[in-house]
Amino acid sequence: MVFEEIVLDFRNNIWFEANLVSVLGAIYNQIVKTNYIEVRNLQRKVEDIFRINGFLCALFDQDRAYDKYNTTIKYKEFNSDEARSFAEYLRNELLINNELPKMSERLKKEIRGNIEEIFQNARIHGNCDKVFSCGQYYYKNAKIDFTITDIGDTIKDKYEERFKQKISGEDAIKWAVEPNNTTKVGTPGGLGINLLRDFLRINKGKVHDIQVRVFK
């Protein structure tokens, strides 16, 4: 049953950060279940981004454009039980890039495991059905942007449920990435996220956790 028509109007949008297609895809997936979605006035540059990383292909069955510069970490949707497929996606799309800092195979394996933990956290803590990811290489700036998104319970929700006390979203995130902090009973946590954060800090990168409430 369609409740209403929602228009995504890109009239004044001349640029879109390619990695944030992950967020847009997650929101679209949530609202399309009960609404009719129409995309209007998609600017050429934005449409090119969406075609190259496969976003329009995944949502609207449009052909994916050729990535002649090989800078795309393609848009992908995963069911929450597809951890193995996500691990393969990381190997083929993210960890093979030469722009990543030089590291041993052992460290690369640790980093991959830590990113896979984020996927598992979305399933275990977020109670979500799907996980979305996308990214982009920026060779001129020697930068890689990579985003993982889920529409599920937030860290703030899980903290307040576990400890029966209020906390801000920002403070909940800070608490969650500290070693040994977890909302799971009797199980240490936060180790993988902390290692990943240290790796990014050493290499002048950043990790962002943005919580957006999508009303159902």
CA angle 102, 104, 106 (to 5 degrees): 140
Q: Is residue 52 part of a domain?
A: yes
For residues 12 and 195, the answer to whether their CB atoms sit within 8 Å is no
Q: Is residue 216 part of a domain?
A: no
Give residue 160's domain range: 5-202
Q: What pLDDT does 193 receive?
A: 66
For residues 112 and 87, the answer to whether their CB atoms sit within 8 Å is yes
Q: Is residue 207 part of a domain?
A: no
Strand ranges (E), the chain: 5-9, 36-40, 72-79, 130-138, 143-150
pLDDT tens across 147-176, in order?
Answer: 999 988 888 888 999 999 999 988 987 887
pTM for this structure? 0.82
**Would you give per-residue pLDDT tens digits along the chain (216 residues)?**
557 899 999 999 999 999 999 999 999 998 988 899 999 999 999 999 999 999 999 888 778 898 988 889 999 999 999 999 999 999 898 887 766 667 778 877 887 888 888 888 888 778 889 999 999 988 888 788 999 999 888 888 889 999 999 999 889 878 877 777 888 776 555 555 666 677 777 777 766 655 444 444
Q: Is residue 41 part of a domain?
A: yes
Q: What pLDDT does 79 receive?
A: 95
Q: What pLDDT does 215 receive?
A: 41
Q: Is residue 210 part of a domain?
A: no
Q: Is residue 212 part of a domain?
A: no
Q: What pLDDT does 214 receive?
A: 45
Q: What pLDDT does 61 receive?
A: 78
Please provide residue 213's backbone torsions phi and psi, each rounded to the nearest 5 degrees.
-90, 120
The pairing of strands 143-150 and 72-79 is unpaired
Q: What pLDDT does 52 receive?
A: 95
**Number of domains, the chain:** 1
Q: Is residue 215 part of a domain?
A: no
